């Protein structure tokens, strides 16, 4: 497997104008991606649940134009022109141009909206970059109608990765592995693949209630955080640990051992934040209420024996994970005891989903 497979040969078709719409979800990592080489090549493999409700909906309209040396596009969020998003898209287009050589032949209008509030602390880069990658692949499929669905999805994930690493895990569901792991067949640093082994019923329809602890802009972006893993004193041990955790997770996912699942997932979340706290410069993204929630979850789990757990992404919000069959008492607990720690009492009920959809 290498990048060359995504450089197209001559296209058999032409198309002048058109438009495609896709919705693409966010995802939540169980084993975390934290640390990368150039172009979002990950330092360790990661695995995530694809989500269902938190998603970006993007419409890409295109019209042929005379080739010039620049990209030509406008971008709108919720019908409002967003010129401040342009540099990020420009960088993305530059990175993927060799794989989509038609990019400069068109003027694009990108219209995008998120199902979750913009100021929710939920990153829209995974859902946003994957939705745009899907739209671009729909255009490429028009130019090359023989393209197979598996190539379409692989290349969409590959392109999404070049926009934002974790975006490559949003194309499909329900469990996605990204990054080479010696015991996971087909796993690669280039794009996400569907987890290829047996998964116990307890992990189907897993619930993720996202507690919005802090809806503000993060003080440290993920990209800066990833880069602080270069020369990090614990980096090599951490990368090794991610391989081991994924190895263990293969057994756990198969035999339905929820307690071991909880240990791996919570340790991964806290290790991610420990890496941030031990970087130079160091930083903390958790808030006091993040810790309040974690302690409440542990107490409730001890008292009830219910398999509730948490994970964190690069922010203060808490993802509460639990099997669907225990949803009633756990939701009750969340409403009665955890929502008080959320900013303005806001939380989002989500669950495992199955990836991007064409609209």
Residues contributing to the site for ligand DP6 (CB under 6 A): 29, 32-34, 36, 40, 46, 123, 125, 164-166, 222-223, 226, 272, 313-314
CA 189 from centre of chain: 15
Report, in Å, the least distance between residue 32 CB and ligand DP6: 4
Q: How far apart are alpha carbons 313 and 32 in whole angstroms? A: 8
Helix (H) or strand (E) holding 244: helix 235-255
Rg value, the chain, Cα: 20
214 vs 313, beta carbon nearer ligand DP6: 313
Report, in Å, the least distance between residue 222 CB and ligand DP6: 4
Helix (H) or strand (E) holding 312: strand 309-312
272 vs 330, beta carbon nearer ligand DP6: 272
**b/e burial code for range 85-104 (CB count within 10 A of at least 16 → b):** beeebeebbeebeebbebbb
Report, in Å, the least distance between residue 157 CB and ligand DP6: 13
What token pair was written down for 83? 């010129």
Is there a cis peptide before residue 294, judged by omega within 30 degrees of 0? no
Report, in Å, the least distance between residue 272 CB and ligand DP6: 6
6 vs 33, beta carbon nearer ligand DP6: 33
Give the HSE-up count for residue 158: Cα atoms under 13 Å, Cβ half-sphere.
Answer: 22
317 vs 343, beta carbon nearer ligand DP6: 317
169 vs 301, beta carbon nearer ligand DP6: 169
What token pair was written down for 178? 């990204």
42 vs 323, beta carbon nearer ligand DP6: 42
223 vs 236, beta carbon nearer ligand DP6: 223
Report, in Å, the least distance between residue 165 CB and ligand DP6: 3
Report, in Å, the least distance between residue 340 CB and ligand DP6: 26
223 vs 255, beta carbon nearer ligand DP6: 223
Q: How far apart are alpha carbons 180 and 34 in whole angstroms? A: 14
| Cα 281-26-327 angle, rounded to 5 deg | 105
220 vs 339, beta carbon nearer ligand DP6: 220
- Sign of CA pseudo-dihedral 301, 263, 126, 121: positive
| Cα 167-322-269 angle, rounded to 5 deg | 55
Torsion of CA 268, 270, 273, 277, to 10 degrees: -130
Q: How far apart are alpha carbons 64 and 86 in whole angstroms? A: 20
Q: How far apart are alpha carbons 218 and 203 in whole angstroms? A: 31
Nearest residue relative to ligand DP6 (C-beta): 165
């Amino acid at each position: 497997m290498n990048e060359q497979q995504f450089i197209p040969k001559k296209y058999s078709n032409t198309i002048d104008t058109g438009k495609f719409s896709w919705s693409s979800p966010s995802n939540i990592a169980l084993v975390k991606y934290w640390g990368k080489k150039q172009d979002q090549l990950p330092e360790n493999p990661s695995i995530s649940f694809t989500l269902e409700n938190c998603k970006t909906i993007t419409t890409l309209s295109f019209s042929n134009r005379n080739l010039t040396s620049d990209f030509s596009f406008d971008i709108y969020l919720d019908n409002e022109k967003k010129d401040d998003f342009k540099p990020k898209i420009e960088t993305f287009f530059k990175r993927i141009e060799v794989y989509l050589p038609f990019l400069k032949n068109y003027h694009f209008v990108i219209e995008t909206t998120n199902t979750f509030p913009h100021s929710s602390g939920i990153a829209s880069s995974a859902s946003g970059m994957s939705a745009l990658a899907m739209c671009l692949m729909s255009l490429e499929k028009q130019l090359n109608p023989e393209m197979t669905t598996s190539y379409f999805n692989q290349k969409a994930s590959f392109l999404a990765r070049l926009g934002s690493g974790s975006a490559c895990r949003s194309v499909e569901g329900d469990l996605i592995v990204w990054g080479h792991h010696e015991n996971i067949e087909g796993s690669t640093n280039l794009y996400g693949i569907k987890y290829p082994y047996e998964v116990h019923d307890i992990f189907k329809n897993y619930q993720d209630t996202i507690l919005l602890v802090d809806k503000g802009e993060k003080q440290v972006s993920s990209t800066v955080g990833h880069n602080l893993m270069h020369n990090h004193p614990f980096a090599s041990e951490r990368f090794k640990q991610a391989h081991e955790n994924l190895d263990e997770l293969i057994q756990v996912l198969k035999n339905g051992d929820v307690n071991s699942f909880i240990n791996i997932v919570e340790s991964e979340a806290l290790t991610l934040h420990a890496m941030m706290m031990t970087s130079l410069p160091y930083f903390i993204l958790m808030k006091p209420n993040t810790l309040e929630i974690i302690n409440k979850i542990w107490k409730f789990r001890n008292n009830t024996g219910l398999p509730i757990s948490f994970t964190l992404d690069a922010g203060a919000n808490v993802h509460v994970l639990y099997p669907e069959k225990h949803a009633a008492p756990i939701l009750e607990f969340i409403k009665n005891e955890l929502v008080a720690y959320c900013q303005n009492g806001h939380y989002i009920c989500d669950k495992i989903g199955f990836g991007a959809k064409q609209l």
